[in-house]
Protein backbone atom coordinates (compact mmCIF):
# COMPACT_ATOMS: atom_id res chain seq x y z
CA UNK A 1 0.00 0.00 0.00
CA UNK A 2 1.33 3.43 -0.97
CA UNK A 3 0.14 7.00 -0.71
CA UNK A 4 -2.08 7.90 -3.61
CA UNK A 5 -0.03 10.90 -4.74
CA UNK A 6 3.10 8.74 -4.87
CA UNK A 7 1.32 6.16 -7.04
CA UNK A 8 0.08 8.85 -9.41
CA UNK A 9 3.50 10.46 -9.71
CA UNK A 10 5.18 7.10 -10.36
CA UNK A 11 2.63 6.40 -13.10
CA UNK A 12 3.70 9.60 -14.84
CA UNK A 13 0.50 11.56 -14.19
CA UNK A 14 2.35 14.66 -12.93
CA UNK A 15 4.74 15.77 -10.21
CA UNK A 16 3.85 14.65 -6.71
CA UNK A 17 2.85 18.19 -5.72
CA UNK A 18 0.58 18.47 -8.77
CA UNK A 19 -0.91 15.06 -7.98
CA UNK A 20 -1.74 16.30 -4.50
CA UNK A 21 -3.59 19.21 -6.09
CA UNK A 22 -5.54 16.80 -8.32
CA UNK A 23 -6.56 14.79 -5.25
CA UNK A 24 -7.69 17.86 -3.32
CA UNK A 25 -9.64 18.99 -6.38
CA UNK A 26 -11.62 15.74 -6.36
CA UNK A 27 -10.32 14.58 -9.74
CA UNK A 28 -8.97 11.24 -8.49
CA UNK A 29 -11.01 8.10 -7.86
CA UNK A 30 -10.07 4.78 -6.29
CA UNK A 31 -12.42 1.96 -7.25
CA UNK A 32 -14.92 4.57 -8.54
CA UNK A 33 -14.92 6.48 -5.24
CA UNK A 34 -13.73 10.09 -5.24
CA UNK A 35 -10.77 10.76 -2.93
CA UNK A 36 -10.27 14.32 -1.68
CA UNK A 37 -7.90 13.73 1.23
CA UNK A 38 -4.12 13.46 1.19
CA UNK A 39 -2.67 10.46 2.98
CA UNK A 40 -5.08 7.92 1.50
CA UNK A 41 -3.25 4.74 0.51
CA UNK A 42 -3.96 2.29 -2.30
CA UNK A 43 -2.45 -0.75 -3.99
CA UNK A 44 -1.70 0.01 -7.66
CA UNK A 45 -1.63 -3.71 -8.44
CA UNK A 46 -5.19 -4.24 -7.17
CA UNK A 47 -7.10 -0.97 -6.99
CA UNK A 48 -8.54 0.81 -10.02
CA UNK A 49 -7.17 4.35 -9.85
CA UNK A 50 -8.35 7.01 -12.29
CA UNK A 51 -7.70 10.70 -12.92
CA UNK A 52 -10.58 12.67 -14.47
CA UNK A 53 -12.19 9.34 -15.31
CA UNK A 54 -9.13 7.93 -17.09
CA UNK A 55 -7.48 4.89 -15.41
CA UNK A 56 -3.76 5.25 -14.83
CA UNK A 57 -1.41 2.74 -16.41
CA UNK A 58 -0.59 -0.18 -14.17
CA UNK A 59 3.06 -0.98 -13.75
CA UNK A 60 4.12 -4.43 -14.93
CA UNK A 61 5.94 -6.59 -12.40
CA UNK A 62 9.67 -6.95 -12.86
CA UNK A 63 12.21 -9.07 -11.01
CA UNK A 64 15.94 -8.38 -11.22
CA UNK A 65 19.07 -10.12 -9.94
CA UNK A 66 22.00 -7.76 -9.41
CA UNK A 67 25.60 -8.49 -8.42
CA UNK A 68 26.19 -5.56 -6.09
CA UNK A 69 29.77 -4.32 -5.92
CA UNK A 70 31.39 -3.32 -2.66
CA UNK A 71 31.02 0.40 -1.97
CA UNK A 72 27.47 0.75 -3.29
CA UNK A 73 24.50 1.77 -1.15
CA UNK A 74 21.48 -0.56 -1.12
CA UNK A 75 19.03 2.23 -1.81
CA UNK A 76 17.36 4.04 -4.68
CA UNK A 77 18.86 7.41 -3.66
CA UNK A 78 21.44 8.87 -1.29
CA UNK A 79 21.52 12.43 0.03
CA UNK A 80 25.33 12.26 0.29
CA UNK A 81 25.76 11.60 -3.40
CA UNK A 82 27.17 8.12 -2.99
CA UNK A 83 26.67 5.39 -5.58
CA UNK A 84 23.38 3.47 -5.19
CA UNK A 85 22.18 0.24 -6.75
CA UNK A 86 19.77 1.92 -9.15
CA UNK A 87 22.73 3.74 -10.74
CA UNK A 88 23.47 0.39 -12.37
CA UNK A 89 19.92 -0.10 -13.67
CA UNK A 90 19.48 2.91 -15.93
CA UNK A 91 18.08 0.73 -18.73
CA UNK A 92 15.05 -0.26 -16.65
CA UNK A 93 12.12 2.17 -16.69
CA UNK A 94 10.02 0.60 -13.92
CA UNK A 95 10.47 1.67 -10.30
CA UNK A 96 12.55 -0.92 -8.48
CA UNK A 97 13.16 -1.43 -4.79
CA UNK A 98 15.78 -3.68 -3.16
CA UNK A 99 14.57 -6.87 -1.50
CA UNK A 100 16.30 -6.55 1.83
CA UNK A 101 19.74 -5.00 2.14
CA UNK A 102 23.42 -5.64 1.63
CA UNK A 103 25.85 -3.54 3.64
CA UNK A 104 27.99 -0.90 1.95
CA UNK A 105 31.04 -3.20 2.24
CA UNK A 106 29.20 -6.38 1.24
CA UNK A 107 28.91 -7.55 -2.33
CA UNK A 108 26.94 -10.16 -4.19
CA UNK A 109 23.38 -11.21 -4.93
CA UNK A 110 20.73 -8.56 -4.46
CA UNK A 111 17.18 -8.85 -5.75
CA UNK A 112 15.17 -5.82 -6.85
CA UNK A 113 11.49 -5.72 -7.76
CA UNK A 114 8.34 -3.62 -7.78
CA UNK A 115 6.35 -6.58 -6.42
CA UNK A 116 5.80 -5.36 -2.89
CA UNK A 117 3.90 -8.43 -1.73
CA UNK A 118 6.66 -10.86 -2.70
CA UNK A 119 9.35 -8.56 -1.31
CA UNK A 120 7.51 -8.46 2.03
CA UNK A 121 7.26 -12.24 2.20
CA UNK A 122 10.96 -12.64 1.39
CA UNK A 123 12.17 -10.13 3.97
CA UNK A 124 9.72 -10.49 6.86
CA UNK A 125 11.71 -11.54 9.97
CA UNK A 126 9.33 -14.43 10.71
CA UNK A 127 9.68 -16.10 7.32
CA UNK A 128 13.33 -17.22 7.55
CA UNK A 129 14.22 -17.33 3.85
CA UNK A 130 17.75 -18.81 3.51
CA UNK A 131 20.65 -16.59 2.46
CA UNK A 132 24.14 -17.98 1.81
CA UNK A 133 27.36 -15.99 2.04
CA UNK A 134 31.05 -16.60 1.46
CA UNK A 135 32.80 -14.92 4.36
CA UNK A 136 36.57 -14.51 4.16
CA UNK A 137 37.82 -14.19 7.72
CA UNK A 138 41.12 -13.55 9.46
CA UNK A 139 42.95 -16.76 10.36
CA UNK A 140 41.32 -20.19 10.22
CA UNK A 141 38.50 -20.84 12.71
CA UNK A 142 38.64 -24.12 14.58
CA UNK A 143 35.79 -26.54 14.07
CA UNK A 144 34.55 -25.85 17.60
CA UNK A 145 34.17 -22.17 16.69
CA UNK A 146 32.07 -23.03 13.65
CA UNK A 147 29.98 -25.33 15.83
CA UNK A 148 29.06 -22.30 17.93
CA UNK A 149 27.65 -20.64 14.82
CA UNK A 150 25.85 -23.84 13.89
CA UNK A 151 24.14 -23.98 17.27
CA UNK A 152 23.40 -20.26 17.45
CA UNK A 153 25.56 -17.62 19.06
CA UNK A 154 24.75 -14.83 21.49
CA UNK A 155 24.92 -11.31 20.06
CA UNK A 156 24.02 -8.02 21.74
CA UNK A 157 20.49 -8.31 20.31
CA UNK A 158 19.98 -11.92 21.37
CA UNK A 159 20.75 -15.45 20.25
CA UNK A 160 20.98 -16.14 16.54
CA UNK A 161 19.14 -19.02 14.94
CA UNK A 162 21.29 -22.03 13.98
CA UNK A 163 23.34 -21.47 10.82
CA UNK A 164 24.68 -23.91 8.22
CA UNK A 165 28.45 -23.47 8.20
CA UNK A 166 31.30 -25.20 6.38
CA UNK A 167 34.80 -24.49 5.13
CA UNK A 168 34.92 -23.24 1.53
CA UNK A 169 38.61 -22.39 1.17
CA UNK A 170 41.58 -22.41 3.56
CA UNK A 171 44.86 -20.55 3.14
CA UNK A 172 47.73 -23.08 3.41
CA UNK A 173 49.60 -20.61 5.64
CA UNK A 174 46.60 -20.21 7.91
CA UNK A 175 46.27 -16.46 7.38
CA UNK A 176 42.65 -16.59 6.27
CA UNK A 177 39.75 -18.90 5.47
CA UNK A 178 36.60 -18.53 3.43
CA UNK A 179 33.57 -19.94 5.17
CA UNK A 180 30.22 -20.74 3.56
CA UNK A 181 27.46 -19.70 5.94
CA UNK A 182 23.69 -19.87 5.46
CA UNK A 183 21.46 -17.86 7.75
CA UNK A 184 17.68 -17.47 7.88
CA UNK A 185 17.48 -14.13 9.64
CA UNK A 186 18.08 -10.58 8.50
CA UNK A 187 19.62 -8.68 11.38
CA UNK A 188 21.85 -5.70 10.71
CA UNK A 189 25.40 -6.81 9.80
CA UNK A 190 24.57 -10.21 11.24
CA UNK A 191 27.19 -12.37 9.51
CA UNK A 192 29.99 -9.94 10.37
CA UNK A 193 28.88 -9.79 14.00
CA UNK A 194 28.66 -13.58 14.22
CA UNK A 195 32.27 -13.96 13.12
CA UNK A 196 33.35 -11.11 15.39
CA UNK A 197 31.82 -13.09 18.24
CA UNK A 198 34.20 -16.01 17.58
CA UNK A 199 37.13 -13.59 17.10
CA UNK A 200 37.59 -14.08 13.36
CA UNK A 201 36.72 -10.71 11.75
CA UNK A 202 35.38 -10.70 8.21
CA UNK A 203 37.62 -9.08 5.59
CA UNK A 204 35.36 -9.81 2.62
CA UNK A 205 31.69 -10.80 2.47
CA UNK A 206 29.80 -11.90 -0.61
CA UNK A 207 26.22 -13.19 -0.80
CA UNK A 208 26.01 -16.00 -3.33
CA UNK A 209 22.46 -17.25 -2.80
CA UNK A 210 19.04 -15.97 -1.74
CA UNK A 211 15.86 -18.04 -1.47
CA UNK A 212 17.19 -20.84 -3.67
CA UNK A 213 18.59 -18.55 -6.37
CA UNK A 214 22.33 -18.42 -7.06
CA UNK A 215 24.58 -15.67 -8.35
CA UNK A 216 26.65 -18.11 -10.43
CA UNK A 217 28.59 -16.30 -13.16
CA UNK A 218 26.77 -12.95 -13.13
CA UNK A 219 29.55 -10.36 -13.27
CA UNK A 220 30.06 -7.73 -10.58
CA UNK A 221 27.98 -4.62 -11.31
CA UNK A 222 25.78 -6.43 -13.84
CA UNK A 223 22.11 -7.38 -13.64
CA UNK A 224 19.60 -9.58 -15.40
CA UNK A 225 15.93 -10.44 -15.22
CA UNK A 226 14.87 -13.58 -13.42
CA UNK A 227 13.72 -16.47 -15.54
CA UNK A 228 10.21 -17.85 -15.07
CA UNK A 229 11.70 -20.87 -13.30
CA UNK A 230 13.72 -18.69 -10.94
CA UNK A 231 10.66 -16.64 -10.10
CA UNK A 232 8.75 -19.82 -9.24
CA UNK A 233 11.65 -20.93 -7.04
CA UNK A 234 11.58 -17.61 -5.22
CA UNK A 235 7.79 -17.69 -4.80
CA UNK A 236 8.00 -21.26 -3.49
CA UNK A 237 10.68 -20.24 -0.99
CA UNK A 238 8.50 -17.39 0.26
CA UNK A 239 5.41 -19.59 0.56
CA UNK A 240 7.26 -22.45 2.27
CA UNK A 241 8.76 -20.09 4.82
CA UNK A 242 5.34 -18.53 5.45
CA UNK A 243 3.70 -21.95 5.88
CA UNK A 244 6.48 -23.00 8.22
CA UNK A 245 5.66 -20.11 10.53
CA UNK A 246 1.97 -20.98 10.55
CA UNK A 247 2.58 -24.57 11.66
Catalytic residues: 103
| CA–CA distance, 69 with 185 (Å, rounded to integer) | 22
Give me the helix-helix angle, 143-151 and 190-197, nearest 10°: 130
DSSP code of residue 125: T
| CA–CA distance, 232 with 214 (Å, rounded to integer) | 14
Amino acid sequence: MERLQKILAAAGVASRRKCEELILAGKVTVNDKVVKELGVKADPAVDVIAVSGKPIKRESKIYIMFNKPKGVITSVSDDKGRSVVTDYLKDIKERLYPVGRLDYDTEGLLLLTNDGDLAHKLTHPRHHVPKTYHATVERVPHGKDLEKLQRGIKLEDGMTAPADVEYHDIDPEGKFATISITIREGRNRQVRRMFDAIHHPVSRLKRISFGGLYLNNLQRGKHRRLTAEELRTLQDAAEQSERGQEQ
